[in-house]
Chain A
Amino acid sequence: MVKTEVLEIEKKELKTKPLKLVLAGNPNCGKTTLFNQLTGSKQYVGNWPGVTVEKKEGKVKNTKEREAVITDLPGIYSLSPYTPEEIVTRNCLLNDDPDVIIDIVDATNIERNLYLTTQLAELGRPIVIALNMIDVLEKRGDKIDVALLEKELQIPVVEISASKNIGIDKLVDKVFSVAKNGKYVNVKNIYSKELNSTLCDIEEALEEVKQSPYHRKRWTAVKLFEGDSVTWAHYNFTESQKKHIEFHIDEVKLAKNIDREMIIADERYKYICAITEKAVKRSKPVGFITFSDKIDRIVTNKYLALPVFLVTMLMVFVITFGPFGTFLRDCADWLINDWFAGVVSNFLVSVSAADWAQSLVVDGVIGGVGAVVSFLPQIMLLFTLLSLLEDSGYMARAAFIMDKLLRMIGLSGRAFVPMLMGFGCTVPAVLATRTLENQKDKRLTILITPFMSCSAKMPVYLLFISAFFPDMGPFVIFGIYLLGMVVAVLTALLLKNTVLKGKNAPFVMELPPYRMPSPKSLWLHVWERLKDFLVRAGTVLVGATVLIWFLQSFNFSFQMVDSADESILAAIGVFIAPIFTLCGFGDWRASVSLVTGLAAKESIVSSMTVLFAGESLSSVFTPLSALSFLVFVLLYTPCVAALSAISKEMSSKKWTAFAIIYQLAVAWFASAFVFQIGTLIMNLMG
């Protein structure tokens, strides 16, 4: 009785527990589009533990009997243990035991895509192949014999087109039926007889150690054969077992005269070629001139590539930060800071709320939220344009074109776009470093991006130029921008040769065919980033603005002050002002406005206006100290919104702290250098 009851419960649990699915495949094969089709907007975005690789999960929509949760694995070419993406995928597949692996294969690039399939097949989990881009294949006039492919691979294949929403329901049905039958694939016919017998020998040796789960024996054997260090370290082989395994491996190696990793990869590709030769009918020879090739004749042309690239970037820049973007920003700013704040303020007055409460809500909270919201239109615009470039395949070409220049400062071509965006706003620029594959490159790019003078610093420059250099405006601004770039290059060279030392990341990058981005994917892409920004920057920025509001509005006995020079902030200003004596602006008001500049760079101007209250800037600054002040403003720590983006993308407290300290130190030294050398020259010249 009891036993059957338990069995019933187990059965019930099995039915109600959601299916655990994973989506694996190469980059650029339509994986994200398929994920979006499967889940709709029910997605959760997070990070894989310990790495900056994005983890996306979602519920499969319209499931009948059971719920299913699907994890979108990073796009990878292979399960080798080198990039963070590969390691994350491997660990997930090995440790999380998914019920079914959905392997998305690009039908138009089938050979290389099936290479990952041959590796997934050895994990001993049920697999379903989603053969994507079937519509593109048809248009090309190529044909794939799906029945034959299924038979040869011994894996179910479903033809789909993720972007055209074809075959998705069929895929889901197939996945559920495979999950029900729970058959493990164990593809033994991938390798030649000779290699296969060696792998069987290794499997036997593994049985003696009794550590390998049964269904994963083949995977382990292959990894041991390849000399995969992670797998070797995982097993406690005795010396004799080790020798036994090595002996078998050496036999094959001697016969073939190539190394272990190559033997496996070579045989996998041979196996794939044998299958595709039978199952794929190509209407044109390999290497024929495609539509993408025709576009590339212009876009990556020796002479046209750079102009096309510069014009593209300029367009992105002008749309986002030019009149259109600025207009949207002003609208949002007006909406929240004038209209909304006015409404709330009137309401608070009408209910006769306390002064401090009015000030907290209107100046503190709405002021802070307003600063975030006014960023939104431009961030949305920039991300839409960047996603458009990324999804269409142009970004890979941009990296291809710029790679050589950026390699001179130890970066790869992909770092160019975030750096350029830094001239607009550091926040989206830092978030855009997500396209960088290599962690070191990413951190370095994040560190130097804030030196690209962001557009919010412009009002500060303009204020000082009108006061001190009215005739030399363009030269001063040009000089400041140039200085920012020089400091960025020097920083890159310095860090690349010290703390971020290491080999240049390999630049073996696919140039995917040009594709029309789907509006749905584009929107989800932008929305995801937007939500992220709102939540992250919103919380941090509102907190910081409230803090600065508090410091500015109260004195040490926690009473509200009438003018800012009696506030806690003024006291802090007086305290830190001496630090800037060497830089030439040891006045407390300068220090205070720099502190408020941490909330938003424009605040420097508004603080100065309030603090100087009619007094002229020249009562405190000389032209030289004005210049050194501008240098400091250019280089010092970016605003809180940017810092929160930096902390997110660095995903390391240590590196975030380093960024803050480094930028402060560079700003101080550069500023002091300008003032001291300037004073020296002026003295010499009398």
Chain B
Amino acid sequence: MKTLDDIKIGEQGTVVSIGSSGALRRRIIDMGITPGAVVIKQKAAPFGDPLEINVRGYELSIRRSEAKEIMLENICNAKR
């Protein structure tokens, strides 16, 4: 299984689980990254970090350290 950090830009995956803990984890969940949600990896910032992802129809920025905690399945190229 791959993490959100592992997949290439332009790929998408379905969330399986989220590591991390406490406030950070809760924040990620509250923003709509829950099991079953589809996330698209849009791009990385000019210095390579953070990432821009699309989830539930809006754009979200998260750091790569946080993306490493998000496990994905059904990885494929995003349909645009």
Contacts and interface: CB of A to CB of B under 8 A. Distances in A.
Interface of A: 77-78, 80, 82-83, 109, 111-112, 115, 258, 261-262, 265-266, 269-270, 285-289, 292, 296, 300-303, 305-306, 396, 399-401, 403-405, 506-513
A189 B5 CA distance: 36
B35 A510 contact: no
A303 B63 contact: no
Nearest to A413: B50
Nearest to A270: B36
Given A115-B30, A287-B78, A508-B61, 14 more contacts: A109-B57, A261-B26, A265-B30, A265-B34, A287-B57, A288-B80, A300-B45, A301-B46, A403-B61, A403-B63, A506-B28, A508-B28, A508-B31, A511-B52
Given A262-B18, A265-B34, A306 B46 contact: yes
A82 B27 contact: yes
Given A306-B46, A510-B59, A510-B60, A82 B26 contact: yes
Contact of A262 (B27, B35, B63, B66): B35
Given A404-B47, A506-B66, A508-B62, A269 B37 contact: yes
Contacts of A288: 80
Nearest to A511: B59
Interface residues of B, number: 42
Contact of A400 (B23, B32, B61): B61
Given A258-B17, A508-B60, A404 B45 contact: yes
Interface of B: 12, 17-18, 22-32, 34-38, 40, 43-50, 52, 54, 56-63, 66, 78-80
A297 to B, nearest CB: 9
B56 to A, nearest CB: 4
A258 B35 contact: yes
Contact of A80 (B30, B40, B45, B59): B30
A268 to B, nearest CB: 9
Contacts of A266: 34-36
B30 A403 contact: no
Among B12, B26, B44, B62, find the residue whose CB has the most chain A CB atoms closer than 10 A: B26
B40 to A, nearest CB: 5
Contacts of A83: 23
B8 to A, nearest CB: 15
Contact of A287 (B40, B47, B60, B66): B40
Contacts of B47: 401, 404-405
B45 A401 contact: yes
A82 B23 contact: yes
